[in-house]
Chain A
Amino acid sequence: MSIQITRRNLIRGAAILLGTTALPSFALAAAGGRLVIASDSEPRNLNPAMVASNGVFFIASKIVEPLAELGYDGMKPLLATSWHGSDDGKTLTFKLREGVTWHDGQPFTAADVAFSAMEVWKPLQNLGRAIFVNLEAVETPDDHTAIFRFSQPTPVQLIQNALPVVTSVLPKHLYEGSDIKENPLNLAPVGTGPFKFAEHRPGQYYRLTKNDAYWNAGEPNIDELIYRVLPDRAAAANSLEAGEIGLAAFSMVPLVELDRIGQIDGLEVITKGYEALTYQLIVEINHRREHMANLKVRQAIAHAIDKQFVIDAIFLGYAAAATGPVPANAPEFYTPKVTQYDFDLDKANALLDEAGYPKDASGVRFSLDLLPAPYFSETKQFGDYLRQALIKIGIEARIVANDSAGHQKAVYTDHDFDLAIAPTVFRGDPAISTTVLVRSGLPAGVSFSNQGGYANPQADALIDKAAVTLDTDKRTALYKEFQQLVAADLPLINVADWSFTSVAATSLGNVANNPRWPVSNWSDLTVER
């Protein structure tokens, strides 16, 4: 059969072409009910159940929902309405929401949760592998109850804190029997969330449309979300000014621009909404190196860092000085009662003298290699700063700059560093991604883990004990002890805790109303027309 070229077909073709070229440049004002968001990365995999990372959640959390979401006053039910753990810590029962349907119209049931837990979270997910390591089975006595059975006692506190991050539920009927890692839905997810995946044009945008059948009647309030791919950060600021985009989250607008952008009518700078997404600026230490194995040297380095300068000059005030491995905006666990290291060069020099590393004729005690992580401009700048700070106490640092892959290999696989600078993430509970920075015995190659060869049986015992302590108060007390131990023995040095900022059009409503806002589902977000 041949295709007839008619005038009508030609016109239709031209209209489609016109439509596609016009799409990326929607103006916010003209759209009405549409929000254009700047996106600095284009995740290859949009499956949040498999890749639990903020880059994926930023887009996918609007489509695929977890069992619960964090609010400013504690955990809020989402797909689960309630949960409780047994006294022996071996079972955890979730009551699931009724009347929820998937985007393809099928009902959401406990079978979906069981499938996601056993087939995806536990075997495939970056964080779930550790958290659900003792998960044996998920029983589904009825369509709206899921009972998680663990082989070892598992603290409810840990699972609850991890719920928003590790429990995105996938539709069993679309994934069962397929190779989950290769399932095409990983690129075009189907979930229960307020928005449905519509299309992705590589290099241009992702389009999400309103889910009219969302379980919470009346939500969402916006017809369409467009994530415009804008890898250049300077471009995000300009697009906001021009009104082409309505929201730039995750500090896409550089800190130095915030003052200027904040003055512009119709835009506001928002620092709220990231409390549960704290990044930590840490100095990783290779304890295999003779100098670094000496506690006095580590203490001297801690005393040589002027945290206030780092916060003012590098983070322009958008950060807080860190006291230990748990940030202050995790009040459940945080304790300030730990060893503090004031900025004190005399003390640092004295400690190094005591340690047996006198200055030579040119004022140098010893040299070392410093590897700043290339992921953020802040980590690189801190590298430049730390080099200067170390020179002042007679330590000559040579900065080794690598690209991301090279840095990962050098630090986490080859251990070819003395000091490294890393942006680690605190994920609501120390057991999720904090204790791995201290625990010994991890295989080489695991990023953001203790690859510095630090081995302290006391710390290991504490971490292991906390991991199986069910009583929430006792568990919290153990993590406070953990913070004291880390601050005293310095397996790593915590410098600053920083978070992100958003710049949003003032026409947006219900912005930053929970501590994980950019990666929550935005069902209540509004756009003034």
Chain B
Amino acid sequence: MNFVARFIRSPEGIAGLVLLSLLAAAALLAPVFFPGDPLAIEGRPLLRPFEHPGLPLGTDRLGRDVMAELFHGARASMIVGISAAAVAILVGALVGTLAGFGGGLIDEALMRVVEAFQIVPGFLLALAFVSVVGPSLTVVVIAIALGSWTGPARLARAEVLSIRERDFVAAARVIGMHPLEIAVKEVLPLALPPVMALTSVIVAGAVLTEAALSFLGLGDPNIVTWGSMIAEGRNVLRSAAYLSIVPGLGLVALVLGVYLFGEGLVEALARREGQG
């Protein structure tokens, strides 16, 4: 039974996959459905949802189309979540592999750096970084990755520690491969799968961190994100709660989708190991 079949058998995985596909479609098709700037003023301010046929989710305090903001916000959230996770896993896996394979002083030094990052709460780190460098999409991605690369690093190191003792590594040494080449070409690919399992956790965390940063006014002000929509809506929470609820539901769906998808993946992987 192949991996896809095993994944399909887990209900969580399917639910997550459906949610994520819908959101990904929304994000990808946002420029098709809502061409132009989602922050453009389209109508009377504070139109309620379903009040105006052209603006199904109503408008915010400046008369911007909430539906367009929601679709484009999905884009921002997914871009930030996926890029932050990619950066975190790439950097973490590299550092972990080097530490685990190098051993000795390199290992000690790198792991102390990892610990230094681990003791600071990830959100505070992101907050400090963005306030110093100034908010923009790239900075936000780096800021979130700063707080989440340590998990992959530790996991990769642990994997590498066991892999490096295997015979094929010794064989590679014997044929005269450079240690760095062995580490990156031979060991890293094998250490990567368990690290990849962290992706879902990191993506979900990154989406929430981005939303929290935007909520505090530290997001990129030139793009729309769900966090900034909630922050905007907060001012009118008592009189126009839909402005906060709509993007809030988006966030719930995305994080839930990522989480369920991750669960499905883990289950599928576990089944294979169980059978083997």
List residues of A whose CB falls within 8 A of some B CB.
Answer: 234, 254, 256-257, 259-260, 312-314, 374, 377, 380-381, 383-385, 387-388, 391, 398-403, 406
Contacts and interface: CB of A to CB of B under 8 A. Distances in A.
B40 interface: yes
A387 B240 CA distance: 24
B40 A391 contact: yes
A313 B221 contact: no
B62 A381 contact: yes
A400 B134 contact: yes
Nearest to A312: B45
A384 B221 CA distance: 8
Given A377-B235, A381-B62, A401 B39 contact: no
Given A313-B63, A388-B40, A257 B239 contact: yes
B162 interface: no
Contacts of B41: 385, 388
B61 interface: yes
Nearest to A410: B134
A313 B39 CA distance: 15
Contacts, number: 53
8 contacts: A314-B61, A314-B62, A380-B217, A387-B39, A388-B37, A388-B41, A399-B221, A406-B134
| A interface, over-half SS | helix
Contact of A401 (B40, B135, B236, B239): B135
B131 interface: yes
Given A384-B62, A401-B221, A256 B39 contact: no
Interface in B222-243: 222, 235-240
A32 to B, nearest CB: 31
Interface residues of B, number: 21
B38 to A, nearest CB: 11
Interface of B: 37, 39-41, 45, 61-63, 131, 134-135, 217-218, 221-222, 235-240
A377 B234 CA distance: 12
B217 A401 contact: yes
Interface centre among B37, B61, B218 (most CB of A within 10 A): B61
A399 B222 contact: yes
A401 B133 CA distance: 11
Given A313-B62, A398-B222, A256 B236 contact: yes
Given A384-B221, A401-B134, 4 more contacts: A254-B235, A313-B62, A314-B61, A377-B235
A402 B221 CA distance: 10
A313 B61 contact: yes
Contact of A384 (B39, B235, B236, B237): B39
A399 to B, nearest CB: 4
A344 B222 CA distance: 25
Contacts of A257: 238-239
Give me the 10 closest cross-chain CB pairs, A-B, nearest first.
Answer: A399-B221, A313-B45, A401-B221, A256-B236, A388-B41, A399-B222, A256-B239, A401-B135, A388-B40, A313-B62
Contacts of A391: 37, 40
A399 B221 CA distance: 6
A401 B222 CA distance: 9
Chain B residues touching A, majority SS:
loop
Contacts of A260: 238-239
A402 B236 CA distance: 24
Contacts of A254: 235
A388 B135 contact: no
A388 B236 contact: no
Contacts of B218: 401
Q: Which of B131, B235, B239 has the most chain A CB within a 10 Å cutoff?
A: B235
A314 B63 CA distance: 10
Nearest to A382: B62
Contacts of B45: 312-313
Contacts of B236: 256
Contacts of A234: 237
Contacts of B221: 383-384, 399-401
Contacts of B222: 387, 398-399
A388 B43 CA distance: 13
Contacts of B237: 234
A355 to B, nearest CB: 24
Contacts of B235: 254, 256, 377
A374 B135 CA distance: 14
Contact of B39 (A388, A398, A402, A406): A388
B178 to A, nearest CB: 46
Nearest to A402: B134
A404 to B, nearest CB: 11
Contacts of A313: 45, 61-63
Nearest to B237: A234
Contact of A381 (B61, B238, B240): B61
A381 B235 CA distance: 12
Contact of B131 (A259, A400, A403): A403
Contacts of A406: 134
A388 B224 CA distance: 13
B238 to A, nearest CB: 6
Contacts of A388: 37, 39-41, 62
A402 B61 CA distance: 22
Contacts of B63: 313
Contacts of A387: 39, 222
Contacts of A402: 134
* Most A-side CB within 10 Å, residue of B37, B41, B237, B239: B41
Contacts of A384: 39, 62, 221
A318 to B, nearest CB: 14
B66 to A, nearest CB: 15
B128 to A, nearest CB: 12
Q: Which of A313, A385, A400 has the most CB of B within 10 A?
A: A313
A383 B236 CA distance: 19
Contacts of B240: 256
A374 B134 CA distance: 14
A172 to B, nearest CB: 44
B20 to A, nearest CB: 31
A399 B134 CA distance: 12
Contacts of A385: 41, 62
Q: Which of B37, B222, B236 has the most CB of A within 10 A?
A: B222
A266 B268 CA distance: 63
Nearest to B219: A401
A380 B231 CA distance: 12
B33 to A, nearest CB: 20
A399 B239 CA distance: 28
Nearest to B236: A256
Nearest to B240: A256
B130 to A, nearest CB: 10
A377 B237 CA distance: 15
A231 B221 CA distance: 24
